[in-house]
């Protein structure tokens, strides 16, 4: 097996962790010409750079494209970038601070906590139907519908419109892979136009006729422009389900390939808390996040000049023996688990409490109601690198 970092190769996607081990040991800061980025693979460095204000998810608050030695994205991509740049994730302070505060006014811990019984009921219903069928594809039948329905309910997307959410989201997320193709970009642009138009109309309806949902609450927030409101809704809808689907799939794959861990969790359901954190660590759903370098920095003796891009390898950080005892061991009882799957610093995942509720509910329901869950075919990963998830996960419940 090749141990070169080649995120486009099927071998790497099937098993990235041995390559990360070599990177961490031999070249923890490595210039990678194909994506023109510095790869950062150690936990300590990834964690520190996420918190370092000399880096940003955007540079447009301090410099133009030209000043950073970059070219502006082509005009035809404008609808995608407008949508992307109006969500808080790709903003930096002071705008990020303002947006995150305004969105937090509507997306409150109380609103999230109130969802707990709703999420549990939904997980139970989905799992009951799945068990009655004798199993099938766990991704399509449980992993996807749970977070998609929860986030759609939370925002107040009418049921009849929800079928469009996954295709829009998938098309937009194509842009977050390394070096997206023209075809991928065009599909993302089309989806951005349709999604924005849809949400603009919905937000206007809710502004005039508010309901008890997040779109109405956001429409009522003072100081949020209409484009920011739309960018926020799309961010919540996309971030609010993509990774959760993949933690569910990757997590069940790990459990089914480690029957002793599956059994341990079945015998002690109270381990669900540590188990969810371990599932998020062991097969990291978002393998990499990027940052722009806004001032020259030095990492492990390597000077990284302003205008560079760093790729923070979360999947590698989560398997670093300097941060985790015996990191290649999958252990649902692991207590000391400083995984980085929700990020760190100012962009730390706003949805982490909701994601944890969803994961505990769906894993709990399947453990209780489908004790004999077994793989019926070898699970295959989707081809992307950044977003790590399975195409399908075929299981039987007998």
Residues 71-100, one symbol each (x = binds ligand HEM by CB under 6 A, - = not), give -----------------xx----------x
Can you list the positions of beta strands (E) in the chain? 29-32, 37-40, 55-56, 135-137, 288-293, 297-299, 302-304, 309-313, 374-375, 380-381, 390-392, 394-396
> With CB under 6 A as the contact rule, which of the stretches 32-40, 205-213, 254-262, 341-349 interacts with ligand HEM?
341-349
Helix (H/G/I), strand (E/B), else coil: 120: helix
| Nearest approach, Cβ of residue 290 and ligand HEM (Å) | 8
Kindly tell me which residue out of 239, 275, 332, 397 binds ligand HEM, with binding defined by CB under 6 A.
239
- State yes or no: residue 374 binds ligand HEM (CB under 6 A): no
Q: What angle do helix axes 78-85 and 182-208 make, rounded to 10 degrees?
A: 50
Q: Is the CB of residue 194 less than 8 Å from the CB of residue 89? A: no
> With CB under 6 A as the contact rule, which of the stretches 33-41, 58-66, 240-248, 318-326 interacts with ligand HEM?
240-248
- State yes or no: residue 169 binds ligand HEM (CB under 6 A): no
> With CB under 6 A as the contact rule, which of the stretches 65-73, 195-203, 296-304, 340-348 interacts with ligand HEM?
340-348
Backbone angles phi, psi at 381, to 5 degrees: -80, 150
Q: By C-beta, is 23 or 350 nearer to ligand HEM?
A: 350
CA separation for the pair 222, 176 (Å, rounded): 31
- State yes or no: residue 349 binds ligand HEM (CB under 6 A): yes
Q: How far out from the chain centre does Cα 131 lie? A: 28
Burial of 80 (0-12, 13-18, 19+ CB in 10 A): buried
Kindly tell me which residue out of 126, 233, 234, 354 binds ligand HEM, with binding defined by CB under 6 A.
354
- State yes or no: residue 289 binds ligand HEM (CB under 6 A): yes
Output the CA torsion sign for 290, 80, 235, 379. negative
Kindly tell me which residue out of 313, 355, 386, 387 binds ligand HEM, with binding defined by CB under 6 A.
355
Angle, CA of 44, 48 and 54, to the nearest 5°: 150
- State yes or no: residue 47 binds ligand HEM (CB under 6 A): no
Q: By C-beta, is 286 or 397 nearer to ligand HEM?
A: 286
| Nearest approach, Cβ of residue 221 and ligand HEM (Å) | 15
DSSP 139: I
| Tokens at 272, concatenated | 């669900």
Number of residues that bind ligand HEM (CB under 6 A): 24
Q: By C-beta, is 151 or 397 nearer to ligand HEM?
A: 151
**Which residue's beta carbon is nearest to the bound ligand HEM?**
351
CA separation for the pair 71, 66 (Å, rounded): 6
CA separation for the pair 245, 190 (Å, rounded): 24
Residues 104-143, one symbol each (x = binds ligand HEM by CB under 6 A, - = not), give ----------------------------------------
- Strands 297-299, 380-381: parallel, antiparallel or unpaired by DSSP? unpaired
| Nearest approach, Cβ of residue 46 and ligand HEM (Å) | 10
Helix (H/G/I), strand (E/B), else coil: 225: coil
Kindly tell me which residue out of 7, 135, 240, 389 binds ligand HEM, with binding defined by CB under 6 A.
240
> With CB under 6 A as the contact rule, which of the stretches 172-180, 265-273, 350-358, 385-393 interacts with ligand HEM?
350-358
The three state secondary structure string of 22-45 is HHHHHCCEEEEHHHCEEEECCHHH
Q: By C-beta, is 151 or 185 nearer to ligand HEM?
A: 151
> With CB under 6 A as the contact rule, which of the stretches 121-129, 185-193, 242-250, 317-325 interacts with ligand HEM?
242-250
Kindly tell me which residue out of 235, 311, 367, 387 binds ligand HEM, with binding defined by CB under 6 A.
235
CA separation for the pair 294, 52 (Å, rounded): 10
- State yes or no: residue 364 binds ligand HEM (CB under 6 A): no
- State yes or no: residue 151 binds ligand HEM (CB under 6 A): yes
Helix (H/G/I), strand (E/B), else coil: 345: helix
| Nearest approach, Cβ of residue 162 and ligand HEM (Å) | 15
The residues, any chain, with a CB within 8 Å of residue 394's CB and separated by 6 or more, are 135, 136, 137, 138, 375, 376, 377, 379
CB atoms near residue 34 (< 10 Å): 11
Which residues contribute to the site for ligand HEM (CB under 6 A)?
A: 57, 88-89, 100, 151, 235-236, 239-240, 243-244, 247, 285-286, 289, 341-343, 347, 349-351, 354-355
């Amino acid at each position: 097996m090749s141990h070169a970092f080649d995120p486009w190769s099927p071998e790497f996607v099937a098993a990235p962790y041995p390559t990360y081990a070599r990177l961490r040991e031999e070249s923890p800061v490595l210039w990678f010409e194909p994506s023109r980025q510095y790869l950062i693979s150690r936990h300590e460095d990834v964690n520190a750079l996420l918190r370092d204000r000399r880096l940003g998810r955007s540079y447009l608050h301090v410099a133009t494209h030209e000043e950073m030695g970059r070219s502006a994205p082509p005009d035809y991509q404008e609808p995608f970038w407008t949508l992307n740049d109006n969500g808080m994730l790709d903003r930096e302070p002071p705008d990020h601070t303002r947006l995150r505060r305004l969105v937090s006014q509507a997306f409150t811990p109380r609103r999230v906590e109130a969802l707990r019984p709703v999420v549990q009921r939904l997980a139970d219903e989905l799992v009951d139907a799945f068990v009655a069928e004798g199993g099938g594809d766990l991704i399509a039948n449980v992993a996807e519908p749970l977070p998609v329905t929860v986030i759609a309910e939370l925002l107040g997307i009418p049921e009849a419109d929800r079928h469009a959410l996954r295709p829009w989201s998938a098309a937009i997320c194509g842009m977050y892979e390394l070096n997206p193709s023209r075809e991928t970009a065009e599909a993302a642009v089309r989806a951005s136009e349709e999604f924005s138009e849809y949400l603009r109309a919905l937000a206007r309806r809710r502004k005039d006729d508010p309901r008890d949902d997040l779109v109405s609450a956001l429409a009522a927030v003072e100081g949020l422009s209409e484009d920011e409101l739309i960018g926020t809704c799309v961010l919540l809808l996309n971030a609010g389900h993509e990774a959760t689907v993949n933690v569910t799939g990757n997590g069940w794959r790990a459990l089914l390939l480690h029957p002793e861990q599956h059994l341990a969790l079945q015998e002690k359901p109270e381990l669900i808390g540590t188990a969810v954190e371990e599932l998020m660590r062991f097969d990291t759903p978002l393998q990499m996040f990027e940052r722009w370098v806004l001032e020259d920095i030095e990492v492990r003796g390597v000077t990284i000049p302003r205008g560079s891009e760093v790729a923070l390898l979360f999947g590698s950080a989560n398997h670093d023996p300097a941060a985790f005892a015996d990191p290649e061991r999958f252990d649902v009882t692991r207590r000391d688990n400083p995984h980085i799957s929700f990020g760190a610093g100012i962009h730390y995942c706003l949805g982490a409490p909701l994601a944890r509720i969803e994961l505990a509910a769906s894993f709990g329901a399947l453990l209780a109601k489908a004790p004999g869950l077994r793989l019926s075919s070898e699970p295959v990963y989707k081809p992307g690198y950044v977003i790590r998830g399975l195409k399908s996960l075929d299981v039987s419940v007998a």
